[in-house]
Amino acid sequence: MTNLSFMVACSFFMIFCGLWSFMKYHKHLLNSLLSLEFMMLGIFWLLSFQLSGVGGDIYFSLFFLTLAACEGALGLCLLIFVVRSHGNDRFSSFNLLEC
């Protein structure tokens, strides 16, 4: 039982580290996307441990992982679009009034 609680604590640590890095290093779009993906990985790990502990289906966690991968691909597409249109990925260079 202590092994499972250690793994749950590690997944919460991953989530909070991702949240901290999202709040701390928010000047570049790539840093924000990487910290969001790190949080999603921690949530996936927590979800898989909780579902395996209860004896539930693992298909829900695979569905969650699929959605996280699609979210990552969408984020990378947006990153490529922003770098091609603005030249860099710094949030300070974005002009929200420009169409």
Query: Model confidence over 37-80: pLDDT tens digits?
Result: 999 999 988 888 888 767 667 778 888 888 888 998 999 998 89
- Cut 0.85: pTM above it: no
CATH number at residue 78: 1.10.287.3510
Is 61 within a domain? yes
Structural domain count of the chain: 1
- 98 in a structural domain: no
Structural contact between residues 18 and 31, judged by C-beta atoms closer than 8 angstroms: no
The parent domain of residue 31 ranges over 2-93
For the CA atoms of 38, 39, 41, 45, the dihedral, rounded to the nearest 10 degrees, stands at 140
Do the domain assignments include residue 78? yes
Residue 99 lies in a domain: no
For residue 7, tell me if it sits in a domain: yes
